[in-house]
Amino acid sequence: MTYLQVVNAVLRRLRETEVSTYNETGYSTLVGDFVNDAKKFVEQSWDWSSLRDTITVTTAASDYQYPLTGSGQDFKLLNALNSTSSTVLHYRTPQYFDSVRLTDTSEGVPSDFAYRNNDANGDVNLEVYPTPNGVYSLTFQVVKRTADFTDDADVLTVPTQAVIYMALALAARERGEAGGTSAAELLALADTYLADAIALDASRYAEEMVWETV
């Protein structure tokens, strides 16, 4: 569903008139804010398959810092690989990198990475070690949460019912009730929709639900 369709789905359940653009009225704009709040809540509740993506970083000789372009601030890393050398990239702390570079400035095949600060676009900057001695393709499998919707045509990719009823619960709490249904009841419905959606999506990644002692 698009952003506008979700906003109108919430408005209908509030017995309000549908709109042709999300910010057509002051109230529809408020509902749009609730939709964004609900979307963020749902997106951060689980590592949805629809939000999983692979970001590729191409290194250059003698350069050890790179932005993870498109990651955003709310991403989660699932796996990191040096595809060129067919090896796993291992996470290290920035403090480890700071200390190791004091004694080793040689270049080689990247085998480790660390997070640094964020760039001007809000994407995280990575540091790799050893400093690359050439061109390597580093692939990072991530869960990318989306930015707030600002356009009618923005597409919701996480379960719609959970987002709709979460936004409806927020709207009902603001105005008192929605069609005789309390905010608490609507929130319970949203939780049910969310739990069911997580259970269905999690069945695709059964191995991620198994915890082992180390």
**Where do the structural domains in the chain lie, given as residue ranges?**
3-44+147-206, 51-143
Instruction: Say if CB 7 and CB 164 are below 8 A apart.
Output: no
* C-alpha span between 127 and 85 (Å, rounded): 18
Q: pLDDT for 8-23, tens place per residue?
A: 999 999 999 999 999 9
The predicted structure's pLDDT at residue 81 = 97
Q: pLDDT for 48-59, tens place per residue?
A: 999 999 999 999
Most confident of 95-109, 143-157, 194-208: 143-157
* C-alpha span between 71 and 43 (Å, rounded): 14
Instruction: Say if CB 111 and CB 132 are below 8 A apart.
Output: no
With 60 as the cut, is the pLDDT of residue 214 above it? no
85: its two tokens: 């050398």
The predicted structure's pLDDT at residue 40 = 97
The predicted structure's pLDDT at residue 211 = 63
* C-alpha span between 171 and 33 (Å, rounded): 10
For the packed helices 160-175 and 26-43, what is the interaxial angle rounded to 10 degrees? 130
